[in-house]
Amino acid sequence: MVTPVTFKKSAEVTEETCREAGMTIAELLGRVGGKWTIFVIIMLSEGPRRFSELKRDIEGISQKVLTSTLRDLEKDGFVTRKVTPSIPPRVDYALTELGQDLRGPLMALSSWAVVNRNRVAAAREAFEARQTEEPAKIAYFR
Partner DNA sequence: CAGCATCCTTCACGATACTG
Partner DNA sequence: CAGTATCGTGAAGGATGCTG
Q: Among residues 99, 94, 101, which one has the least CA distance to residue 49? A: 94
- Count the residues of the shown chain that bind its own copies, applying the rule CB under 8 A: 66
Q: Among residues 5, 4, 20, 3, which one has the least CA distance to residue 102? A: 5
Query: How far apart are CB 9 and DNA at their closest, in Å?
Result: 29
Residue 13 is given by DSSP the state -
The single residue among 56, 75, 82, 90 that binds its own copies, judged by CB under 8 A, is 75
The single residue among 56, 82, 90, 117 that binds its own copies, judged by CB under 8 A, is 117
Q: Among residues 100, 115, 4, which one has the least CA distance to residue 45? A: 100
Cβ closest to DNA, residue 75 vs residue 90: 90
Q: Among residues 104, 53, 118, 43, which one has the least CA distance to residue 79? A: 43
Residues present in the chain in total:
142
Q: How many CA atoms lie within 13 A of 4 on its CB side?
A: 2
Specify the stretch interacting with its own copies by CB under 8 A; choose among 20-28, 62-70, 87-95.
Answer: 20-28
**Residues from 40 through 69 that contact its own copies (CB under 8 A):** 42-43, 45-46, 57
- Please state, in angstroms and rounded to a whole number, the distance separating the CA atoms of residues 75 and 103: 17
The single residue among 115, 129, 136, 138 that binds its own copies, judged by CB under 8 A, is 115
- Chain positions contacting its own copies, by CB under 8 A: 1-15, 17-18, 21, 24-30, 32-35, 38-39, 42-43, 45-46, 57, 74-78, 96, 98, 101-102, 104-117, 119-120, 122-124, 126-127
Residues that bind DNA (CB under 7 A): 34-36, 50-53, 55, 60-65, 67-71, 81, 88-91
